[in-house]
Structure 1
Amino acid sequence: MAAANKTVPTAADVDAYVAAQPEARAADCRTLIALMQRASGEPPVMWGRMVGFGRRHYVYDSGREGDIFRIGFASGAGGKGDISLYLDLGCLPAGREALLAGLGRYREGKGCLYVKRLADVDLGALGRLCEAALREAGA
């Protein structure tokens, strides 16, 4: 039997999640919420320990399927780790590298980007990345 998806929307309070962060990280979270809400047209929802916007259904080749937010982020534990940006960059076309080139300082992981703080990235470029990811994923 397949394991249940643990990343599901909850009724947890997004504002409480932000308020639990150190002030500098809370400010970054508020900025990300505004940016991602503007890009997606969707309100922020807690998905476990992640803040997500919108919802999409996925089906893997293996047959496993589920629902996940369309874009989102998570703050590192206690505001000390990196901010994880979930943008499904695998769906971006050839222009992906040009979009990333203007972003600033980040690390790329499997399925996400990591930034230390928003001051390290160009918010305009991040907004364009969010919009491109949403558009390419069938927004």
Structure 2
Amino acid sequence: MAVDLIGGVSDQQQTAAAVQTSLGQEEFLKILLAQLQYQDPLKPLDNQQFLAQLAQFSALAQTSQLNDRVDTLLTIQASTQSIGLIGKTVEVRSTTGEPASVGTVSSLAFLDGQPSLNVRTQNGEILTAVKLSQISVVR
């Protein structure tokens, strides 16, 4: 069941990234057309400069898409990693500076696409909303 949720998050992120990229391309083309319209007829834009600008914008758009996909991949990786922790004994670092707690991961939830663990400690206490970054040891 959780796989559908993970896929849904990545689809939404990819759709948002595609909308952002298309808006950037439209703006670039508007600027380029305005530049061509108002250029000096005695000094037209050099073909090499024109192609260089197009290539730079294309590279920028591809880099932006790559960053978005890497972010999606990291989210999916964190989700997969957290699913594997269910039932494992972990050591949880406190955010307040208290000594680390040892317990078993009892459940998992996804808040804003990020995994949030619930850990039952050895003395029966339940730690809620534990982030992956707080896990220091997996036993």
Give the structure-1-normalised TM-score: 0.28
From the CA coordinates, give the structure whose radius of gyration is larger. 2
Q: Higher helix fraction: Structure 1 or Structure 2? A: 2
Give the structure-2-normalised TM-score: 0.28
